[in-house]
């Protein structure tokens, strides 16, 4: 397993869609390119406006640009650098995209629609280096960090699936990868999405960054003075059990995670959510709930319980309904705020790493979603 602070260099090779990556360019970059070809600077804003607001996925569609400019753009740039390798749709209003990056690596992202809420769940790495024993994403380790534009592109591609006039209302960074191991690229992408120059103008408060709990990175994020909502994947109330389930805990320790989370709350004023995957007979027992309540008592914190979504080949099971109820009651009785995460994407392997894993296996991809177990994704 790689070191905790090791930031994997995102290297996007030149295979796949040709051209410079438009979402990697700033308005200034594009202006320089335009000036070199004798085009006015304001065209740069027009181009980004088309991509961010008018959902153009090719230059061809940018009808208010001169034809010659559109041809030149097409020759040099690519609006998107990934291609959709698979699009899964679930009857409950969940879409999952498997995107193939230029280097052939595949990442997953999910769109969940519920009433007026349009939540996208995005990935930050190819694979994951944290090795949580119940999770499909990390089974083969981490391959690389995603670039900022690859992160941004997931949101835009999912947004483009929404009905005209609908927009993304929430982003959860809960797909593949350890978000804070790729902090710089993630923040660069999120900041852009939360800006209007040009971006999607989303409020930072509607973005949740989920982390295994890397204390130094949590402090670094706190110091950036943003309003992103932090979710820390705790999964166990004691060092011993957390070491078993979340192996990186051996080097970090539960207290350091909680202290960093407290620091995040003090610095940003934003209450931290603790995620807790309930695994039948492993961490869903009465004593686990009691120990968790003791750990969190006195903290202004919220617990999000995630009933486990079984992963083929791994020995964990979903918790029984009775165990979930008991867990909630114990926490509530002790004054700890708690919710149980909703299940979305039942038929499409929406859990992090599951779809990629299934499609990476030999044999043709299952175009009709198979009988896989439900997936859970947070909608804070
Ligand atoms: N690396 C980040 C993001 C991981 S995905 C983190 O650790 O938080 C978001 C959440 O889903 C994490 O809490 C993760 O532990 C959890 N998760 C992973 N696999 C799961 C599964 N099969 N069923 C339910 N939750 C799962």
pLDDT digits (tens, 9 = 90+) for 234-289: 999 999 999 999 999 999 999 999 999 999 999 999 999 999 999 999 999 999 99
Q: Name the pLDDT band for 52 (thresholds 50, 70, 90).
A: very high
Q: Is residue 304 lining ligand 1, measured as CB closer than 6 Å?
A: no
Q: Is ligand 1 within 6 A of the CB of residue 212? A: yes
Query: What is the rounded average pLDDT for all residues in the chain?
Result: 88
Give the pLDDT mean for 352-364: 52
**CA–CA dist 276, 278 (Å, integer):** 6
Q: At what angle do helices 27-36 and 42-52 cross, to 10 degrees?
A: 130
Of residues 83, 79, 84, 81, the one with CA closest to residue 96: 84
Atom of ligand 1 nearest to the CA of 353: 19
3-state secondary structure the chain: CCCCCCCCCCCCCCCCCCCEEHHHCCHHHHHHHHHHCCCCCHHHHHHHHHHHCCCCCCHHHCCCCCHHHHHHHHHHEECCCCEEEEEEEECCCEEEEEEECCCCCEEEEEEEEECCEEEEECCCEEECCCCCCCCCCCCCCEEEECCHHHHHHHHHHHHCCCCCCCCCCEEEECCCCCHHHHHHHHHHHHHHHCCCCCCCCCCHHHEEEEECCCHHHHHHHHHCCCCCEEEEECCCCCHHHHHHHCCCHHHHCHHHHHHHHHHHHHHHCCCEEEEEEECCCCCCCHHHHHHHHHHHCCCCEEEEEEECCCCCCCCCCCCCHHHHHHHHHHHHHCCCEEEECCEECCCCCCCCCHHHHHHHCCCCCCCCCCCCCCEECCCC
Q: Is the shortest distance between the CB of 172 and ligand 1 below 6 Å? A: no
Residues 282 and 313 sit within 8 Å (Cβ to Cβ):
no
Query: Could you report the per-residue pLDDT of 224-234, keeping only the tens digit for each?
Result: 999 999 999 99
Is the distance from the beta carbon of residue 277 to the nearest atom of ligand 1 less than 6 Å?
A: yes
* Residue whose CA is at the smallest distance from ligand 1 atom 5: 174
The one catalytic residue among 24, 108, 150, 153: 108
Instruction: Decide whether any atom of ligand 1 lies within 6 Å of the 372 Cβ.
Output: no
pLDDT, tens digit, 9 for 90 and up, residues 163-197: 999 999 999 999 999 999 999 999 999 999 999 98
> Over the range 251-278, which residues count as b (16 or more CB within 10 Å of their CB) and which as e?
ebebebbbebbebbbeebebebbbbbbb
How far apart, in whole angstroms, are the C-alpha atoms of residue 332 and residue 314? 31
**Res 46 pLDDT > 90:** yes
Q: Cα–Cα distance between 167 and 169 in angstroms, integer?
A: 6
Residue 354 contacts residue 331 (beta carbons within 8 Å): no
CA 377 / ligand 1 centre spacing (Å): 9
pTM reported for the whole predicted model: 0.90
Instruction: From the CA of 231, give the closest atom in ligand 1.
Output: 8
Find, among 47, 53, 23, 55, the residue nearest to 160 by Cα. Answer: 55
378 lines ligand 1 (CB under 6 A): no
Residue closest via CA to ligand 1's atom 18 equals 135
Q: State which ligand 1 atom lies nearest to the alpha carbon of 177.
A: 1
CA-wise closest residue to 133 among 278, 2, 309, 314: 314
Alpha-carbon Rg for the chain in angstroms: 21
Mark whether 352 is an active-site residue.
Answer: yes
If we measure between CA atoms, which residue out of 245, 243, 255 comes closest to residue 281? Answer: 245
d(CA 274, CA 251): 19
Closest ligand 1 atom to 354 CA: 22
Report CA(107)–ligand 1 centroid distance (Å). Answer: 15
List the one residue out of 283, 285, 276 whose CA is nearest residue 337. Answer: 276
Does 110 or 18 have the greater pLDDT score? 110
Q: Does 97 score more than 50 pLDDT?
A: yes
Check residue 6 and give its pLDDT: 34
**How confident is residue 208, by pLDDT bands cut at 50, 70 and 90?**
very high
250 is catalytic: no
- Of 168, 227, 226, 237, nearest to 199 by C-alpha is 168
pLDDT of residue 359: 54
Atom 2, ligand 1: residue with shortest CA distance: 211
């Amino acid at each position: 397993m790689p070191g905790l602070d090791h930031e994997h260099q995102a290297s996007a090779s030149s295979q796949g869609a040709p051209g410079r990556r438009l979402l990697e360019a700033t308005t200034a970059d594009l202006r320089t390119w335009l000036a070199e070809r004798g085009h006015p600077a304001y065209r740069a804003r027009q181009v980004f406006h088309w991509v961010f607001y008018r959902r153009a996925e090719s230059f061809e569609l940018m009808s208010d640009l001169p034809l010659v400019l559109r041809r030149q753009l097409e020759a040099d740039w690519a609006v998107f650098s990934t291609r959709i390798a698979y699009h899964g749709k679930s009857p409950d209003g969940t879409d999952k995209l498997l995107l193939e990056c230029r280097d052939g690596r595949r990442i997953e992202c999910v769109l969940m629609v519920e009433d007026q809420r349009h939540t996208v769940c995005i990935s930050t790495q190819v694979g994951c280096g944290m090795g949580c024993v119940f999770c499909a994403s990390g089974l083969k380790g981490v391959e690389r960090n995603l670039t900022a534009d690859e992160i941004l592109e997931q949101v835009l591609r999912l947004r483009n699936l929404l009905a005209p006039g609908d927009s993304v209302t929430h982003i959860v960074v809960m797909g593949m990868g350890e978000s804070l191991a790729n902090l710089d690229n993630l923040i660069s992408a999120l900041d852009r999405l939360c800006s209007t120059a040009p971006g999607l103008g989303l409020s930072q408060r509607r973005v949740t960054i989920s982390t295994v709990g890397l204390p130094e990175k949590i402090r670094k994020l706190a110091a950036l003075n943003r309003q992103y909502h932090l979710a820390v994947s705790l999964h166990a109330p004691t060092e011993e059990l957390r070491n078993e389930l979340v192996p990186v805990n051996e080097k970090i320790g539960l207290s350091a995670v909680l202290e960093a989370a407290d620091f995040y709350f003090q610095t940003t004023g934003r209450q931290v959510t603790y995620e807790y995957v309930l695994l039948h007979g492993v961490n869903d027992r009465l004593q686990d709930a009691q120990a968790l309540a003791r750990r969190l008592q006195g903290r202004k914190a919220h617990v999000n319980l995630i009933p486990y979504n079984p992963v083929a080949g791994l020995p964990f099971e979903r918790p029984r309904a009775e165990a979930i109820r008991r867990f909630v009651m114990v926490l509530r009785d002790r004054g700890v705020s708690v919710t149980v995460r909703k299940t979305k994407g039942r038929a499409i392997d929406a859990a992090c790493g599951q779809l990629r894993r299934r499609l990476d296996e030999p044999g043709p991809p299952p175009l009709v979603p198979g009988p896989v177990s439900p997936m859970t994704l947070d909608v804070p």
